[in-house]
Amino acid sequence: ELVHNAGCASKIAPADLEAVLARLPSVDDPAVLSGIPAGDDAGIYAIGDGMTLVQTVDVFTPCVDDPYLFGRVCAANCMSDVYAMGGVPRTALSIIGFPAETLDSQIMYHMMKGAMDIFAEARVALIGGHSIKDEEIKLGFAITGTIDAESTFGHDTARVGDVLVLTKPLGTGVLNFARQIGRPVGEGMAQAERSMAELNKSAAEAMVEVGVSACTDVTGFGLFGHLISMVRHSGVTAQVYADALPAFDGAIEALAEGVIPGAIERNREYVG
């Protein structure tokens, strides 16, 4: 009730974002191994002596009702970009927007406690941050990690013959929107909340061990928004079988009944 767009649904439409980024000057620095033009989940910067940093930032409005759970979900999501690149998150800086004059500060405490608990699981140190007064709750983190420059996983290196693998089910955006408009969501929402609050660390470690050609973190732009970006940058095409896609309970049914978040419409316009 406190936000207009929940979680990743608050992202700017990809087409609008690309139009702005395309007008910006390029960064001429040989140490930038992956930057804005690549469109990857995180930036990669070589600082010398064999050390390479991977950095990302994300900010969200609440996508769940419980402040503690929201903190966990937000921190887990912010770290996922580093995991998707094959990196290891090390430190975090917080970004908080909070209506301090109208809401109890205990809410902010529980948000941060949830985040710090999952950072502890990931062995990531929260070392600082910045807070501002805002009409809506916003929480995010800038994550810095380390990565082996010789074995990074971008989204622009998919190859013909690759098999697409999803590590988590789809449907969080649909179920969140269904709950916002008062539609019963049942066990599916509980499944989605558990999934969103779970680290992608194990999946990333398996990916590094097995070796993959490309990877991306599926979030606000949806499966097809991120997939379109991957195939366009890689110069390949993809074939997806709808009945093979994993989804949380009730998500497909909600879509069939017309529960369609605005983010889906924006992503549909982008995909074409």
Q: Which residues are catalytic?
A: 8
Give me the sheet containing 43-48, strands edge to edge. Answer: 32-34, 43-48, 51-60, 138-146, 88-98, 125-133
Q: Which residue shows structure tokens 């605005």?
A: 262
DSSP state, 257?
A: T
Q: Which among 144, 39, 43, 41 is positioned nearest to 94, based on CA atoms?
A: 144
User: Tokens for 73?
Assistant: 């979900």
DSSP string for 163-208: PP--SS-B-HHHHHHHHHTT---HHHHHHHHHHHTS-SHHHHHHHH
Cα four-point dihedral sign 147, 202, 224, 191: negative
131: left (phi over 0), alpha (psi -120 to 50) or beta: beta
Dihedral sign of CA atoms 59, 65, 71, 75 in order: negative
